[in-house]
Each structure stands twice: as structure tokens, then as C-alpha cells.
Amino acid sequence: MRVTRRGFFQAAGGTAGAAALIRGTLAKAQQAGEDLTRWATPEEVPVPSICQQCPGGCGLMVRTLDGEVAGLSGNPLHPINRGALCPKAFGGLQLLYDPNRLKGPMARDGERGRFRPIGWDEALSMLTARLADLRAKGLSHTVAILGGQYRGYRDTLWKRFAEAYGTPNYIRVRCLPPERPALAHQLMQGVTSPLGYDLGEAHFILSFGAGLLEAWLGPVHVSQAFARLRRSGERPRGRFVQVDPRRSPTAVKADRWVPIVPGTDGILALGIANALIREELYDKEFIAQHTFGFEDWVDQRGAHHEGFKNFVLKEYGLLAVSAATGVPVRTILEVARDLGTTKPAMVIGERGTAYGPDDLHTRMAIHSLNALVGSIGVRGGLLIQGELPLSPLRPVQKDEAAARALERPRIDGAGRGQYLLASDAPQALPERILSAKPYPINALLLFATNPLANHPAKEAFAKAFEGIPFIVSFSPFLDESSSRADLILPDHTYLERWQDDQVTHLAGFTCFSLARPATAPLHQTRNTADVVLQIAKALGGTIAKNVPWQKFEDFLHERARGLYEAGRGYVASAPAEESLRKILERQGYWTSEFKSYDEFWAALGKRGAWWDPTGLPVSLEALHTTPSRKFEFYASGLKRLVDEAVKRDGTGEAFVQALGGRDRGDLLYLPAVAIPAVREPGAFPFRLNTYRLMSRPTGGGRNQPWLLEQPAVHVRATWEGWVEIHPKTAAEVGVKGGDWVWVESAKGRIRLKAKLYAGTLPYVIHIPLFGGEGPNPNDLIANETDPFRGFGLLNTTRVRILKA
């Protein structure tokens, strides 16, 4: 075969090409093998975080694979939950990966036209320009910031921004702020920090409607404390009584369930007080040394005042109390005897929703039982753990524009008139916005709240929104409220952002939790805390000087230094190490685990929490900072406020009328709850009671199908909403279990499936808030307001049942 020169080179080139092809194929095969190995064995990194599904503050451990979130579990080092979680926590994955999350900022075309996606630079420019323009015109007070259920430094940052910018209208929409003391505790003890219930060390607990094992302050921590209450090896088994209109999961676990007519809890508490006093089962030493107003007394002007003791004995006889509450006299006596003879004991009168129109005096009546049995400032009773030793912030330096604007009254009226004792009054907000009194609202910022779905005055909010020229939402979803906004700046979900949590309301310790991002943001969203810092920087001047941090991470890093420098407490660690440290610290020995703050900060981010296992127990004297320096059955601080209001505005002042009128005399300041007259049922014969499920997060959960699938075991219900009806009531209205019914009130009606449940009083029906898909119970709830907390009364509405 003759080979030409051209043929030789062609053959050589072909051989070289084939060799190159083979080398390339082998390289690709090798790369594919490495990719397959990496895919089969991804880098697994656990990242501590904080559950944000309820106020519990449980620590999470996020399982990440190559930087992507793959699972959630409890942080075993975290002092609040010690690795345990409730069902709500696992819904965080579905929040993160929800396909309906907003992918980036959205703005409307024209005046309330269609939404269009925009970039962050344009979005921030739009918001900053609007805020700057209002401030330049002297209208910064016409900006309102509406915040939902959150705490910690996000709350601090919003407050600081509002004050520096010059608006008094930073308003929170929530019925249970766990970081604040209950108003009854403030008035009767003068405390400025929340009381902690030492559940695990109690021997007897009497709870008035608090869903301890469902959706109270922290279901996981409370469940663990409840387990300690029930232990029998070291001490007698603790006993638990639940007073509740409904046989709830908490009532099921109680030693005794006491069904009660809704809204009469305070009357029952005073009936129990009557029995304790008559049978001399109260703590005479505590009453004599640490209380004011128990016996009759004479003031400085020589006027005689009836004391709590004689008032209760005269007005709350057991027969009258039994008739009003539906609780038998024998039951009242037995509960009183258990409470008075078992030490330590505690009485819980804190729940999210109001007990009724006279909510303040009801809570005062319940809390008076803690004083009667001497449960304040003792282990197994009510404690205060003191404040977290975080680095303080400098006071806001206000310029002339901000100072002038902050002199204006709040749009919701909180702190004045009828709402003198309320820190926020969101229930009054729609009416005041619509009336433009005391001034119109020109811009509204919505953060972590959806009032058009989750508030009993949602229809009024919707109408009020129509008249606000500029609304900004920070929701990561297009929900009922954000869909009415002009601009949406979507927040990260809590697994994508830096955040903190501060817990001081659980007895036994204080705790600061820190979470860093477990994964990079999935979309073009931003941590709203960082957005607030960016807005402050863009507005410049004193606003930027008062909010100088570049990132929220920097802000947290600066504040947490106080923990390192406190000379007490520890970054969470293994239980064996903590037990040794607790013993040493109680004996006066404490040593730092870290040589520098940088080491401390790194460990805090890796382990997720700092806590002081010994707390800062407050003395009994410090627990009583009232004018008398004692527990006050007669709330002299409230008397002073009323006298000032009357002197300023006369006896017709709205605050005085909200308390029931000046003619009540001393009953304004005592834990006095009126026994209601018997009324005819009328067109709406049944009382509506709403409640929360453990498996539903604060604010809903309809975008978390795992949680909607969790059964309400007492009625075997999932997915859809339902109404619980006593079998006797169902028979009277011709309804069977599983029937569709109309539940009607004077406000509206909704269609639900009937679930027959004997664990209720016959004339009370129950609907879970955010119980599942379907109608919203807020369509039924009357727009009535608790004047002392400024929130809606969720359980005073009357309804009727009709077969659909």
C-alpha cells in the first residue's frame, strides 16, 4: 500500500485526535466520578438556629448538606428545649421551600395597579424617598409601623428607628407579649419584668384557661416542666387542676378538669379566695408582712376603706359564685383546700386572649390567690429572674424634627384616654385611620403581621387600608395584607437570616439565643433588619447616627459583648459540664471558658445560646415595687392614675369610664369582678370560644401542609376547619357529627363541619383559630376591645348554629 505525504499527515492527525478524544473522555469520566462521590457523600454541617413558629424560643439544629437545608431537629444543648421539639417546628422546612414565596421586591404600576418585579436599589429608593419627603414636610408622625409577634433586637431596632425618624406610631399587633409583665402583676406588685412560673418545682398548680400543653408561652419547655411536676421518685407527685370551658389537651392531662361558664374565671377565683379565708388556709405570715389592703384600713385623710378580706367574704359567697360560674360548691371547696394545704403551689392567670370585658380585674382576682397562699418569690411559685446582661444602647439623640413629631399623640390612642394602661391599641387603629383623627396616616409599614386575616377587626383594617396613600409590606408571601401594599420588600425566612431571641419569662434562668443563616437565601430577599439599617443610612443625618450599624450581624455582635463581660452565665454546653458549673456558681465560684470575646462569639454562634443556670433571683422586697413596697390587694398605683386622669379631664374621662366609672369607688382598685345578671339567650343562644392548637404556628400555617395534616386527636380532625358542639346541643338543633353547619353571629357567618365533643358545656361551641383550610373565625368575632390591653375580645361573641 503506497502512503502519500498527505495521507501520512491525515492518519497522524486522526490518531492524535482520537488520543485527545480518549483523554477528554477519561477526564470527563473522572470528573463525573468525583461529582458522583461528592453527591453521594455531601458535606454535612449542623447549624444552630431558633424556631420562630411561636413565642417558645426553642433551639433548632439545622442539618445542611453542601449548604442546603435538609432537615430540622432540636438543639440538644439549648436550655429551653434540650433537643425536644413540638410539631410546629418541622413546618419551618415548608416555609423555606414554599414555592409561593416572593422571589424579590414587588411594586405596583401606577396607583394600585398590577405588581411588577423590581430590583432592590429601586425598591429602597422608592421607600427612602417617600420617608424623606414626609419628614421634610414635618409629617414624620404620619408614618405608622405595624409589627406582629416577635421579640429581641428586631423589636429594639424598629423602636430605635421610629424614635430617630420621628414617629410615635410603632404599634404591635399581638395579644401575648411574653417579654412584658402582665398588667395585673404590674399594678399589684409594681414589677417591670415578667414573672416566671416555676412549674417543675411546684407541688400544686391551678390554671385558669392557660393552654400549658398546647400553645402557651412555650409548649416544649412547659411539657418538660410538667414531666418534672409528675415525677414521683424524689418527692410526692405534683397535682394539676385546669379551669377551662373546654376539655382541652391540657385539661385531659390534668388531675381535675373544672368546666366553667366563659368569662367568669375571676368570680371563681374570688370564690376560692372566700373559702381560703373562711377556713383560714391562707398564708397569714406572708399576708401580714408583705401585703397591703387585705384588712380594712384608714388613709391619711382619715377615710375608711374596706379591705380585700371583708369584701370577698361579703360579696362572693359560694352559692352565688357557683350559680354564676357553673362550678359546684363542693368543687370550689375542694380546689381551695388543695391550694391552701399543698406547698409550694401556684395559680396561673395568663393566657393570650382576654377572659372577658372585665379582663384586668379578672386577672387581678386570679393573681390575688398567689398572694393568699404565699407563692410569690419562692421556688415552685412565681419568680423574677432579672434582666439579661446585654450591652446597653446609647439613648437616641433626637433632632428638632423628631422631637417635635414625637410630641404628637399615637394614632391608636395607646397611653392616653381610654387606653391609658395599654402599650398598644391595634383594635382602635382602623377607626382612627378612617376618621383621620388625630391626623391622617400617609404611610404604613407592615412587618411580621397580617391584620387582614389574623385580626378580629380585619374588615375594618381592609377599609382603612384603602385610604392610606402608601403601604409597604415586608412579608415573604403575597398574603391578604401584602396584596394590598404598594411596595413589598420580602423578608428572609428565619433559616436564612441572622436573628436573636431573649427569654426572661421562664423560671429558673435567663437565656439569649443566637442564630446565623443556615443557608444562603433561596431568592432575592433580604433580612428586614438589614433593610432598616440601609434605610436609616440613606436617610442620613441624626437617623443614620442613631442607627449606625452596617449589618444586623454587627448590631448583635456589639450587644452580646455584655454577656461575655457579665461575670456570670455560660454558653450552652453538655449537661454534665453545666451541672458542675451550676454547683460551683451557687457556691460563689465562676470562671470564664473563653480567653477573648472573639472566642466567646464564635462559640455562641456554634452552640446557639447563652444562659445563666442560676439566674439572678430577685429578693422578695424587689418583687414588690409598689408605692407601699408590698403586694397590693388595693392597687394604689391604679388609684393614682385614676386621680390624675380625673384631675386632668374630669370624671367623664374615657379611662375612668373604661374601668367602670368613678361611682365604683374602691371597687376600681380591688380585684372586684361583677357577678352578671341572668340573661335570656336571645337570637344567638351559644357562646363562642376560640382556641389555638399546638400544631398551628402563630399567625396561621396554611402554607405548611405538614401541620395542617397533624390531627386534632380529640375530634379526629385534619386539614379543614371545624366547630365543636356538645352532643346535647347538636341534638337540639338537628345536627349530626360530620354535618356541614352555618355558624352565625351578628357580624357574619361561616360554614364549617360539625364535630360532636362532650368535653364542653352544652351552651358553648368551640372553633380553633387557624385550625385548617376554609373559613376564618374572625369573620364571626365581634369588634369589641379590651381597654386595658388594646386588643380584641376573642371570646365574648354569641352565635347560633344552623344546618347548612
Torsions phi, psi for 500 (to 5 deg):
-135, 170
Q: pLDDT category, 528, cuts 50, 70, 90?
A: very high
Q: What value does the mean pLDDT take over residues 514-531?
A: 97
User: Per CATH, is 116-175+399-554+608-612 categorized as 1.10.150.120?
Assistant: no
Higher pLDDT residue, 27 or 766? 766
Per residue in 31-42, pLDDT (tens digit) is 766 666 666 788
Q: What is the pLDDT of residue 772?
A: 67
Q: pLDDT category, 618, cuts 50, 70, 90?
A: low
In the structure grid, which three cell numbers stand for residue 323, read together? 350559680
What is the distance between the alpha carbons of residues 773 and 779, in angstroms, rounded to a whole number? 14
Helix axes 329-341, 265-278, angle to 10 degrees: 60
Which of 253, 381, 380, 348 has the alpha carbon at shortest distance from 694?
253
| Three-state secondary structure of 349-379 | CCCCCCCCCCHHHHHHHHHHHHHHCCCECCC
Least confident window among 3-7, 127-131, 339-343, 717-721: 3-7
Q: pLDDT category, 5, cuts 50, 70, 90?
A: low
- Containing 632, the helix (H) or strand (E) segment is strand 631-632
Q: Helices (DSSP H) in 98-140: which residue ranges?
A: 120-136
- Neighbour order of strands in the sheet with 470-473: 115-117, 106-108, 487-488, 470-473, 443-447, 143-147, 170-172
Q: What is the pLDDT of residue 668?
A: 87
Which of 491, 500, 494 has the alpha carbon at shortest distance from 450?
491
Q: Count other Cβ atoms within 10 Å, centred on residue 7.
A: 11
Amino acid at site 198: D
In sequence order, the β-bridge partners of residue 632 are 292
User: CA neighbours within 13 Å on the CB side: how many for 436?
Assistant: 6
pLDDT higher than 50, residue 9? no
Residues 61-70 as b/e (b if ≥16 CB within 10 A, e otherwise) read bbbbeeeebe
Q: pLDDT category, 508, cuts 50, 70, 90?
A: low
Residues above pLDDT 70, as percent of the chain: 91
Q: What is the pLDDT of residue 527?
A: 98
Three-state DSSP class for residue 617: coil
Q: How far is CA 436 from the centre of its chain?
A: 30
Q: What value does the mean pLDDT take over residues 684-696?
A: 87
Q: What is the pLDDT of residue 656?
A: 72
Q: What value does the mean pLDDT take over residues 407-417?
A: 91
Q: Helices (DSSP H) in 695-742: which residue ranges?
A: 705-708, 727-733
Q: What is the pLDDT of residue 660?
A: 67
Q: What value does the mean pLDDT take over residues 492-502?
A: 96
Q: pLDDT category, 19, cuts 50, 70, 90?
A: low
pLDDT higher than 90, residue 430? yes
What is the distance between the alpha carbons of residues 1 and 6, in angstroms, rounded to a whole number? 14
Residues 369, 374, 375, 376, CA torsion sign? positive
Conformational region of residue 173, where left means phi above 0, alpha means psi within -120 to 50, and beta covers everything else: beta
Q: What is the pLDDT of residue 520?
A: 97
Instruction: Domain 44-86: give its CATH code.
Output: 2.20.25.90
Instruction: Domain 686-803: give its CATH code.
Output: 2.40.40.20
210-214, 396-400, 696-700 — most confident range: 396-400
Max CA distance (Å), the chain: 137
pLDDT higher than 60, residue 573? yes
- Containing 740, the helix (H) or strand (E) segment is strand 740-744
Q: pLDDT category, 615, cuts 50, 70, 90?
A: low
Q: What is the pLDDT of residue 717?
A: 82
Per residue in 239-265, pLDDT (tens digit) is 999 999 999 999 999 999 999 998 899
CATH for the 196-383+626-635 domain, from 3.40.50.880, 3.40.30.10, 3.40.228.10, 3.40.190.10? 3.40.228.10
Residues above pLDDT 90, as percent of the chain: 61
What is the distance between the alpha carbons of residues 697 and 717, in angstroms, rounded to a whole number? 17
pTM, to two decimals: 0.91
Q: What is the pLDDT of residue 218?
A: 81
Per residue in 713-761, pLDDT (tens digit) is 778 888 788 999 999 999 999 999 999 999 999 999 999 999 999 999 9
Q: pLDDT category, 501, cuts 50, 70, 90?
A: very high
Q: What is the pLDDT of residue 20?
A: 55
Q: What is the pLDDT of residue 8?
A: 44
pLDDT higher than 80, residue 650? no
pLDDT higher than 80, residue 577? no
Q: What value does the mean pLDDT take over residues 479-505?
A: 93
Residues 679-690 as b/e (b if ≥16 CB within 10 A, e otherwise) read eeeeeeebbbbb
Angle made by CA atoms 203, 209, 212, in degrees to the nearest 5 = 55
Three-state DSSP class for residue 295: coil
Per residue in 50-109, pLDDT (tens digit) is 999 888 899 999 999 999 999 999 999 999 999 999 988 999 999 999 999 999 999 998
Q: What is the pLDDT of residue 374?
A: 95
Q: What is the pLDDT of residue 309?
A: 97
pLDDT higher than 90, residue 462? yes
In the structure grid, which three cell numbers stand for residue 221, read together? 419547655
Q: What value does the mean pLDDT take over residues 657-677?
A: 80
Average pLDDT for the chain: 88
Q: Count other Cβ atoms within 10 Å, centred on residue 155.
A: 18
Per residue in 140-177, pLDDT (tens digit) is 999 999 999 888 999 999 999 999 999 999 999 876 67
Q: What value does the mean pLDDT take over residues 224-235?
A: 81
